[in-house]
Chains A and B, each alone.
Chain A
């Protein structure tokens, strides 16, 4: 009995220093931001208290199991009891090693400190960069500076998502599979990340001096123009106004991005390829956002129910004084929307 008890005690005390070492390893290693074992979280209902409680309960359970197993083993020959102890010790050590590895991996990937330098901005800087994104630079002979930050672009993408949601709700867009929010987020983030990667790949082919972070920042700030145009035209449904804004505001932000890229690329063919692609994608995206998510319900109604319903009922929620202009724009919209309605119905 005494011989079987000693290894069990040894196993338990062996686990003790290992457990303590594991704790030191976590607290000393790195400045993980999302660390669940953060001891300075001075809160009453804290996670580490529950963690401690679970650990205590588990240890009690393990002790109870060990005691029960000991009693069982003690009934048989000493050899079988010894094997049981050995297997338990091995299992215990494997568990500790696995837990240590998992925790290290968690603190490595959940360490968002690697993103911290890209969020080191002041409100004045963000404001000035937003305004600069609408002003094309004239000097293209030397490389223009691009601020490598992610706060502005990320907030602009989220703003675009919110505006898109607003536009989709006002037009009662019917999304058959998926949700409005999923579509909006997928579209905006997909554009930002996808087109940035594509243009970065083209820039790599064309030997342009731009990093991925700079491309993300450039395209992100270029979405500021899109936000303005969509915010205005989702509320004032005049198509002439939209085309004017598309050319003016969209064109300005595209020109700015193009000028920056031209200043960082050498060779006329490369410049044409890179800037032409970016300009086309950027302008077409704005066109797509306006027509795909805005007032398509009129086109669908028209194709479904035919001309029996008088056009007055399908006029959008407009300022009453602009009613004749809205009717005109509604007919223009129906003509264009019929083409898109087919594609949208197939979604």
Chain B
């Protein structure tokens, strides 16, 4: 990021270069989440662009389309935003208090990026909801959400578990499980009116 700052300070530099660099970094992290291996990339070069994009996408997709119902679109967007960011902050504080040696923003970065599978699940659910409703519809959505939920947990475990003392990994992973459970539940029970 220091190099990017230097190049933007120079008079003759074109602005797309740092943007492409950032986009490539975000894309690389997305790939790391989709194929989780024990690696340090997410932790070393953390950034919060990916989590922001994912959170906004999720919040936009979880809005109900009806205008005249009592549950208008306003609270849904803010609700998702608040849940994601305060949930991530709480989990980070918890893992630090349990004795983990991970920094605040690194943890936020990992938790935010690992929402990617659930965002994909949301997209799939929206497509499935275009078909006729019924128990088969529900079972398909349930299956997809469960698979993506497990994927999110595995991905975040792969990145976060190493920063905890070895005998307390379960204590640090449980709130992550709750966090993704709440998000999965919001996705599964979403029905556009």
Name the distance in Å between B63's Cβ and chain A's nearest Cβ.
13
Interface of B is mostly: helix
| CB contact under 8 A between A158 and B79, given known A43-B44, A151-B98 | no
Q: Are B170 and A123 in contact (CB under 8 A)?
A: yes
Cα A118 to Cα B43 with chains together (Å): 27
* Chain B positions within 8 Å of A119 at CB level: 94, 97-99
Q: Are A33 and B96 in contact (CB under 8 A)?
A: yes
* Chain A positions within 8 Å of B45 at CB level: 43-45
Q: Which of A115, A162, A176, A178 contacts B182 (CB 8 A)?
A: A162
- In the complex formed, the residue of B with least CB distance to A184 is B182
Interface of A is mostly: helix
Q: Are B178 and A158 in contact (CB under 8 A)?
A: yes
* Chain A positions within 8 Å of B174 at CB level: 155
Q: Which of B99, B103, B168 contacts A41 (CB 8 A)?
A: B103
Cα A221 to Cα B175 with chains together (Å): 16
| CB contact under 8 A between A174 and B98, given known A112-B93, A123-B168 | no
B20 interface hit (Cβ, 8 Å): no
Interface centre among A47, A118, A176 (most CB of B within 10 A): A47
Cα A31 to Cα B171 with chains together (Å): 23
Interface residue count for A (Cβ, 8 Å)?
40
Cα A162 to Cα B175 with chains together (Å): 11
B66 interface hit (Cβ, 8 Å): no
B1 interface hit (Cβ, 8 Å): yes
* Chain A positions within 8 Å of B105 at CB level: 41, 43, 47
Q: How many residue pairs bridge A and B at CB < 8 Å?
A: 90
Q: Which of A33, A121, A169 contacts B171 (CB 8 A)?
A: A121
Cα A154 to Cα B5 with chains together (Å): 42
Name the distance in Å between A243's Cβ and chain B's nearest Cβ.
27
Cα A88 to Cα B170 with chains together (Å): 56
Which A117-147 residues have C-beta < 8 A from chain B? Answer: 118-123, 126
Name the distance in Å between B108's Cβ and chain A's nearest Cβ.
11
B57 interface hit (Cβ, 8 Å): no
Which A89-119 residues have C-beta < 8 A from chain B? Answer: 112, 115-116, 118-119
Contact pattern, B 34-53, Cβ under 8 Å of A = 1, otherwise 0: 00000000011111000000
Q: Are A176 and B70 in contact (CB under 8 A)?
A: yes
List 10 A-B pairs, minimum CB-CB distance, nearest first: A45-B1, A119-B97, A44-B45, A179-B75, A169-B189, A49-B2, A179-B79, A123-B170, A53-B5, A41-B103
**Which chain A residues have a beta carbon within 8 Å of chain B's beta carbons?**
33-34, 38, 41-47, 49-50, 53, 112, 115-116, 118-123, 126, 151, 154-155, 158-159, 162, 165-166, 169-170, 174, 176, 178-182
| With A50-B5, A181-B82 already in contact, 7 other A-B pairs whose C-beta atoms are closer than 8 Å | A43-B103, A45-B46, A116-B97, A123-B171, A126-B171, A159-B178, A165-B185
